[in-house]
Structure 1
Amino acid sequence: MTDNDKGPRDDRWYLNIMAPNTKGDKFAWLDPTSIYINQAAFTDLLDDLLADLEGVEYDVVAGLDAMGFVLGAALAARSGVGFLPIRKAGKLCVDTDKVSFGNYSGRTQDMEMRTPAFAPGTRVLLADQWVETGGTMDGAIRLVERQKGKVAGLVAVAIEENERTNEYRKSYPCVAAVVQGSRWQTECNAQTLSSFDSYKPELAFPV
């Protein structure tokens, strides 16, 4: 698929192929993994995020368990920096630091980061698939800052607008494929997309 096929580069066409939740309230309200399955979509997503990250300096990308691993590792590889996984508690076999946080479903969970993970002053870009309530991201920020790292910015497919994420935007560079002021942002804040009406899994199938 070429730029001419999908229109202007800022149309974020790949957001149209995200899947709605079909399993109920205990799951996230949509699934962006169809973007990762489709090579053209994934490439354009990364291109857009990296373009918007221009001027943001970071030494490592940290991905939040679990789907932040996909986006974070891809961004790290494209940026020529290392990747640091921030994991759910009990998964790492090395010394760790642990924090508790409230996730999007309202449950309290623990997450861990290896210690030491980096030298003091290391600039860490935090990546997650979606920032909804901001609880998971808050845990990651605390883990990085405990090791005297500097949070260089936050990156995601989407960052919803609410009191906590608005504070993030004031404190850090925040980059998302869903751009503030766009109709995508309005729909994401309402947790429904107009593209769901015409969604078909085949739209994301690899060619």
Structure 2
Amino acid sequence: MDPLALPKDRNRGWYLSLMAPNTKGSNFAWLDPSRLYCNAQALSDCVQDLLCPFQNETIDLVAGIDAMGFILGSAVAATLGKGFLAIRKSGHLCIETQSQKYSDYSGREKLMEVRLDVLKPGVTAVAIENSEGGKWIKDHYKYSHCIPEELQSQIDEQYLDSFKSFKS
């Protein structure tokens, strides 16, 4: 089967099966979402799922954290016709910033920074893992995610059943 072919039923989160497992080792993320991005319908459906909780909200600006957040955040911003703010690893912005400690998907501590001149109160977030940071986000902010309830435990264990049929 063509890995970019559309399934007959496009249920919420169907596009997650396009993601590939890490085959390179612990220095890399546990999955590679790039096939999701390469499939126009998958990317569109993912963005729509991420926007569902915000249908009746006024959104001024979309922000995203490093890598996956840059891609999905800018896709959400483009869909809404809004601007996009990149939240970067410390040391990458050449303007006045505010920094915050952050633990990534692997538990590595990082220092993230954001420019201050475009931020306004009213932050919401996208959180997919039930990690310490993900739970904190879910407890403190309105949030969105694209993980169906039946797949959440797989996401938390950092292994999707769809990886069994992955062919590199």
The one-character-per-residue Cα deviations of 1:116-137 (angstroms, maximum 9, x if unpaired) are 223xxx2xxxxxxxxxxxxxxx
Counting aligned pairs with the same residue, the percent is 42
The one-character-per-residue Cα deviations of 1:153-175 (angstroms, maximum 9, x if unpaired) are 2125xx12245433432322221
Letter in 2 for 1:6: K
Q: Closer, same or farther in 2 for the Cα pair 1:52/1:7, shift >3 Å? A: farther
Aligned length: 165
Matched, 1:64 2:65: yes
Q: Closer, same or farther in 2 for the Cα pair 1:174/1:6, shift >3 Å? A: farther
Kindly state the Cα deviation for residue 2 of structure 1 after the two structures are TM-superposed.
10
Matched, 1:168 2:137: yes
Of 107, 122, 127, 1:150 maps to: 122
Aligned position for 1:29: 30
Q: Closer, same or farther in 2 for the Cα pair 1:93/1:162, shift >3 Å? A: closer
Q: Closer, same or farther in 2 for the Cα pair 1:48/1:92, shift >3 Å? A: same
Q: Closer, same or farther in 2 for the Cα pair 1:200/1:53, shift >3 Å? A: farther
Of 158, 161, 164, 1:194 maps to: 161
Letter in 1 for 2:126: V
8 A contact 2:103–2:133 mirrored in 1: no
Distance, in Å, in 2 between the alignment partners of 1:90 and 1:49 is 29
SS in structure 1 at match of 2:144: strand
8 A contact 1:6–1:13 mirrored in 2: no
Letter in 1 for 2:79: R
Matched, 1:53 2:49: no
Aligned position for 1:76: 77
The one-character-per-residue Cα deviations of 1:17-50 (angstroms, maximum 9, x if unpaired) are 1000011122221111210111121112112222
Within a 5 Å distance, the mapping from 1:99-110 to structure 2 comes to: 99-110=100-111
Unaligned runs of 5+ in 1: 123-148, 202-207
Of 139, 152, 162, 1:185 maps to: 152
TM-score (norm 2): 0.84
Aligned position for 2:8: 6
Kindly state the Cα deviation for residue 52 of structure 1 after the two structures are TM-superposed.
3.8
Q: Closer, same or farther in 2 for the Cα pair 1:47/1:64, shift >3 Å? A: same
Distance, in Å, in 2 between the alignment partners of 1:102 and 1:166 is 12
SS in structure 2 at match of 1:154: strand
Kindly state the Cα deviation for residue 111 of structure 1 after the two structures are TM-superposed.
1.7
Q: Aligned Cα RMSD in Å?
A: 2.4
8 A contact 1:56–1:173 mirrored in 2: no
SS in structure 1 at match of 2:62: strand
8 A contact 2:101–2:110 mirrored in 1: yes
Unaligned runs of 5+ in 2: none
